[in-house]
Amino acid sequence: MLAALLLFVLSGPVSAQSASEAEAFVQREAQEVINALQAFHDGELDESTLRRNFRDRVDQLADVPRITGFVLGRFRRGADEAELEEFRTVFREFAINVYERELGNYAGQTLDVTGSVTRAPGDFIVRSTVRARGNGEDVAVNWRVMSGDNGLRVVDAEVMGVWLAQTQREEITSIIGNAGGDISAATRALRQRTR
């Protein structure tokens, strides 16, 4: 009983510190992505440099392998490794395009982290506001951040009430389900959408 109480007491500050680390992570990494997109819009970066920098930033910001497993849902269990690897590769390109499009809407704006909620140890919802320039409206963006082998990474983002990975999961599992459980159907659909 004493050991359980001690563990509970000791876990409090660690979670709070981890939550602040998650907040700092989102503030730093998401703002860097927004800044890179603004540099492109300002003509400071050419498109190939932007894409290379953006890919590197997305790899630092998002846990694409974890997101890939999530969006496959129950179909992940029955897939062979070759199918999964092909899907991961195509999904990464798709995810980068989605993040580029979504975050591109906020180029030149400022992201302010406003707090966080600890869902479980190593699992946080980081709340932020993208501050519009001029007469634009501020936008609330929530980030689900999880700790893993590579440190903190975003596994989902909510923009205007829509969680991106959850929406992608519904769409992808529907495609796979309609194809009788064939993951390659989703791979083909995503490949067409990233061209």
The per-residue DSSP string of 52-117 comes to: HHHHHHHHHHB-HHHHHHHHHGGGGTT--HHHHHHHHHHHHHHHHHHHHHHHHTTTT-EEEEEEEE
Confidence class of residue 190 from pLDDT cuts 50, 70 and 90?
Answer: very high
For the chain, what are the domain ranges?
13-193
Q: Is the pLDDT reported for residue 72 higher than 50?
A: yes
Confidence class of residue 5 from pLDDT cuts 50, 70 and 90?
Answer: very low
The pLDDT of residue 192 is: 93
Q: Is the pLDDT reported for residue 34 higher than 60?
A: yes
The pLDDT of residue 152 is: 94
Is the Cβ–Cβ distance between 22 and 116 less than 8 Å? yes
Structure-model confidence comparison of residues 134 and 11, the more confident one: 134
> What Rg, from alpha-carbon coordinates, does the chain have?
18
Which residues lie closer than 8 Å to 101 by C-beta, 6 or more apart? none
d(CA 74, CA 45): 41
The pLDDT of residue 128 is: 95
Is the Cβ–Cβ distance between 39 and 53 less than 8 Å? no
Confidence class of residue 143 from pLDDT cuts 50, 70 and 90?
Answer: very high
The pLDDT of residue 22 is: 96
- Taking only the tens place, the pLDDT of each residue in 37-66 is 788 778 888 888 887 887 888 888 888 889
Which residues lie closer than 8 Å to 161 by C-beta, 6 or more apart? none
Confidence class of residue 96 from pLDDT cuts 50, 70 and 90?
Answer: confident
Pick the CATH number of 13-193 from 3.90.550, 3.10.450, 1.10.375, 2.40.50: 3.10.450
d(CA 128, CA 61): 15
Confidence class of residue 109 from pLDDT cuts 50, 70 and 90?
Answer: confident
d(CA 112, CA 15): 21
Q: What value does the mean pLDDT of the chain take?
A: 84
d(CA 30, CA 114): 14
Is the Cβ–Cβ distance between 145 and 25 less than 8 Å? yes
